[in-house]
Amino acid sequence: MSNEAQVVNYRSIKPASACRYDAVALGEVMLRLDPYDLPTASAREMRLFQGGGETNVACGLSYTFGLRAAVLTALVDDPIGRNIQNQLRAAGVDTSKIIWFNTRNDGSRFSTDQKGTLMNGINFTYAGKGVIPSDTLYYRAHSAARQLEAGDFDWDGLFGQEGARVFSTGGIYALISPTSSALALEAMQKAAEYGVYVAADLNYRSKVEPNKARAREINRQLAPYIGFLVGNDSDLSDALGYSTRPTSEETSFEEWLEGYQETVRRVAADYPNISLIGTQWRAATNADVISWGAVLYETSADTFYTAPVRRDIPIADRTGGGDSFASGVLAALLKEKSLEEAVQWGGSHGILVQETPGDISMIDEKAVLAEVKRLKAGGGVKAQR
């Protein structure tokens, strides 16, 4: 692989002063309609959030950690698209790079009609309660973000002139259409060329790509450009084809970690460009109570960093835990913290997003640090006075 030497290591992330953006994230953003505590079929009222696996990372970096983040996506220029944009703005994210499809059907590249031939991705997500599992109904088959292809973004301008320290994308977006995989690959190659650190969460969704062989073929093209790989063992198996140790609901974090260590060492041996591999660990008692851990692997030193497991934590909404783990780790890296701290930030931010409804955490960095401190001190929750 010719570009191997150019893939950026986490130690060589560019200084903030050299870049307009701390991070840019490429993905699909959806409007989420959340039916509160009633399942979708019977709900009369829904609150609105926005979210998407890849872009949630940008939102976390921006809102929670105060970093300069932009989302790269496409939206249809209707009020649903503008609602999504308004929410992204509320998270402090730069929306100037969004590609808008007009609805004038004027034949131009970024144009559609008003019949809904192209739409904004939307989903109806019920967070679940107790023994009722969470449930998501997607309307994304005809989304504008799927239409994007290589050449639609000006990487030379973005990475070369404006500058970005981290580029982040993921396995959901890369597999969402035949053209999105080529776009993700182009972005990663350009990132390597311009010295941008690449993070990618290769999470696998069978609803997005039921064919695992195709998923693996595409992810194996992307893997040689990744600097920080986010993925749990089922992702590494489904998305990249690694055999993993079987686990069950009863598997403890410690047992699971042994298997995970073995798998990620093989991944690191195959892809020497990857400098960090990490994931959250989650065990659910029911929809409202989970145990939560986090691990980060430094490949060159063969060192594992873990966050202590939070046990039996009541949560409000599981969505976005993995994305907020990733943004917590990236925030620490961008703020030049140690890997020890990075895994703590990831674990802390990952649990905090699940304590609140919505796909992204609308909490500040202080809350993340307080949660890190609380865990170090042995766990109790004290009133902040």
Partner 1 sequence: MDVVSLGECMALAFPPEPVGLAESPLLQLDIAGAESNLCIGLSRLGFRARFISRVGEDPFGRRIRQVLEQEGVDTQALITDPDAPTGVFFREHLPDGQRRVYYYRKGSAASRLSPEDLHPDFFRGARVVHLTGITPALSPSCAAACGRAVELARQVGAVISFDPNYRPRLWEPGAARAVLLPLMAQANILLMGHEDVQAVFGTENIEEALRRGCDMGASVVVLKRGEHGACALADDGTEHRGQIIEVPAHPPTQVVDPVGAGDGFDAGFLAGWLQGWKLEECLQLGARVGAAAVSVMGDYAGYPRERISASLPEA
Which residues of this protein are in contact with partner 1, per CB under 8 A? Answer: 33, 35, 39-48, 78-80, 82-83, 85-86, 114-117, 119, 122, 124, 135, 137, 139, 141-142
- Using CA atoms in the order 37, 87, 184, 299, what is the torsion angle rounded to 10 degrees? -70
DSSP reduced 3-state for 385:
coil
Nearer to partner 1, 92 or 272 (CB): 92
Residue that the structure tokens 């190659």 belong to: 189
User: Residue 305 to residues 32, 63, 232, 322, 338: CA-CA distances in angstroms?
Assistant: 34, 26, 15, 17, 10
Nearest to 23 by CA among 35, 34, 14, 31: 14
Report the phi/psi class of residue 195: left, alpha or beta, with left for phi > 0 and alpha for psi in -120 to 50: left
Q: Which amino acid is at 88?
A: L
Token readout for 221 is 């093209």
Residue that the structure tokens 């063992």 belong to: 233
Nearer to partner 1, 143 or 169 (CB): 143
Cβ–Cβ < 8 Å for 176, 210 = no
Token readout for 338 is 């140690």
Nearer to partner 1, 110 or 139 (CB): 139
